[in-house]
A and B are shown apart, each in its own frame.
Chain A
């Protein structure tokens, strides 16, 4: 048993446990878990059959097989990071739209002719104060 084998199996198992637990607690969505489970699968496969890596390295003319592994791993992480940046950008655009909408809706509500009624506005004021005292200010 080489240490690569043991490390590969242990690392893969740990990652799978974490992924499963996160999925179970609904802290991770399936669409993001899929890619990491694939990564685990490939890592374990390479740990169990190291000849796959050396074979691929020889085929591509890479002299040190580990370099091929590093190259592959870095490229994969890079692509995943770019994908996540894209998702963040989309979320920012969506929250921006929501924030604008909230501001306009609140303005509309405040303009409603309800000033003679007992005012539910006190609740709104509390919310705003809480928001302003919150983090990020």
Chain B
């Protein structure tokens, strides 16, 4: 049960070529929380993702070409602002996020502006190794320091944001690699939002696996360092020409 029953919740699912799994993910979310509205942002899919999502009962915003998770999510946040939602929850299309945590995630917004569903935080058994693990450790360490609380899984795409954070994200949600996860948290923190985490158990992806080859993992580490470094020193608010267009 939500703490405030009048609270309007929008679940945003960024989806790129997820036609096979999107319908079951949507059905699961609606089964867990029938009261939420669901927006699937079809990120320029070449398959029938949008049709499948509509068939499963979600609103679908179709991006004309692939923008990446950052672009898809900013579309979602802008929609939320325009339609006056109080809370936006981001869930991956591939079914690795268990929607049963949704209520707890939203309840976490009572004392934070952003709540991240985090692996490594007690629940579940996810393990990473080598450079990927170092990258995650470094990101977690730096962001924990910024946030003032321990964050263990800053690259998680399972998160809830309240009106205050949504307003920030509607204007500034980076499209670069890792921008949608790491940099967006830095932006939230640097604009004075509070970030907390909720331990969640994540399921193995229904289709596909995160790359684990040593080369890819090292590349990931390098990009993580660059993305984090830039996020920390970047002059902010960024010089965007669309700033301030999203007034509630």
The yes or no verdict on A and B being binding partners is yes
Which residues of A approach B to under 8 Å, CB–CB? 90, 93-94, 96-97, 99-100, 102-104, 106-107, 111, 128, 131-132, 136-137
CA of A104 to CA of B62 in the docked complex: distance in angstroms?
Answer: 8
Query: 7 interchain pairs (CB within 8 A)?
Result: A90-B241, A96-B67, A103-B41, A103-B63, A103-B75, A111-B59, A137-B46
Since A103-B61, A107-B61 are in contact, a sample of 15 more A-B pairs with Cβ atoms closer than 8 Å, ordered by chain A residue number, is: A96-B175, A99-B63, A99-B67, A99-B71, A100-B74, A100-B75, A103-B41, A103-B62, A103-B63, A103-B64, A103-B75, A104-B75, A106-B61, A107-B79, A111-B59
**CB <8 Å contact, B65 and A97:** no
* Residue numbers in B under 8 Å from A132 (CB-CB): 46
**CB <8 Å contact, A100 and B71:** yes
**CB <8 Å contact, A100 and B63:** yes
* Residue numbers in B under 8 Å from A111 (CB-CB): 59
- Measured CB to CB, the closest approach of chain B to A90, in angstroms, equals 8
CA of A62 to CA of B59 in the docked complex: distance in angstroms?
Answer: 67
CA of A100 to CA of B241 in the docked complex: distance in angstroms?
Answer: 14
* Contacts between chains A and B (CB distance < 8 A), count: 47
* Residue numbers in B under 8 Å from A104 (CB-CB): 61, 75, 78-79, 82
CB closest chain-A residue, reference B82: A104
Interface size class of B (residues with CB under 8 A): 20 to 34
- Measured CB to CB, the closest approach of chain B to A54, in angstroms, equals 44
- Measured CB to CB, the closest approach of chain A to B19, in angstroms, equals 13
Q: Is B242 an interface residue (CB 8 A)?
A: yes
**CB <8 Å contact, A99 and B65:** yes
* Residue numbers in A under 8 Å from B75 (CB-CB): 100, 103-104
CB closest chain-A residue, reference B175: A96
B interface: dominant SS: mixed
CB closest chain-A residue, reference B59: A107
* Residue numbers in A under 8 Å from B71 (CB-CB): 96, 99-100
Whether A106 touches B62, Cβ cut-off 8 Å, given contacts A93-B241, A96-B71, A99-B67, is yes
CB closest chain-B residue, reference A132: B46
* Residue numbers in A under 8 Å from B240 (CB-CB): 93
- Measured CB to CB, the closest approach of chain A to B78, in angstroms, equals 6
* Residue numbers in A under 8 Å from B62 (CB-CB): 103, 106-107, 128
* Residue numbers in B under 8 Å from A94 (CB-CB): 241
CA of A103 to CA of B240 in the docked complex: distance in angstroms?
Answer: 20
CA of A99 to CA of B65 in the docked complex: distance in angstroms?
Answer: 7
* Residue numbers in A under 8 Å from B136 (CB-CB): none
CA of A94 to CA of B240 in the docked complex: distance in angstroms?
Answer: 9
Q: CB within 8 A of B242: which of A97, A102, A103, A136?
A: A97
CB closest chain-B residue, reference A136: B65
CA of A11 to CA of B51 in the docked complex: distance in angstroms?
Answer: 57
CA of A97 to CA of B46 in the docked complex: distance in angstroms?
Answer: 21
CA of A100 to CA of B79 in the docked complex: distance in angstroms?
Answer: 10
Q: Is B121 an interface residue (CB 8 A)?
A: no
- Measured CB to CB, the closest approach of chain B to A114, in angstroms, equals 17
Q: Is B60 an interface residue (CB 8 A)?
A: yes
Within 8 A of A (CB), among B75-97: 75, 78-79, 82
4 nearest A-B pairs in the assembled complex, by CB-CB distance: A103-B61, A100-B75, A107-B61, A103-B63
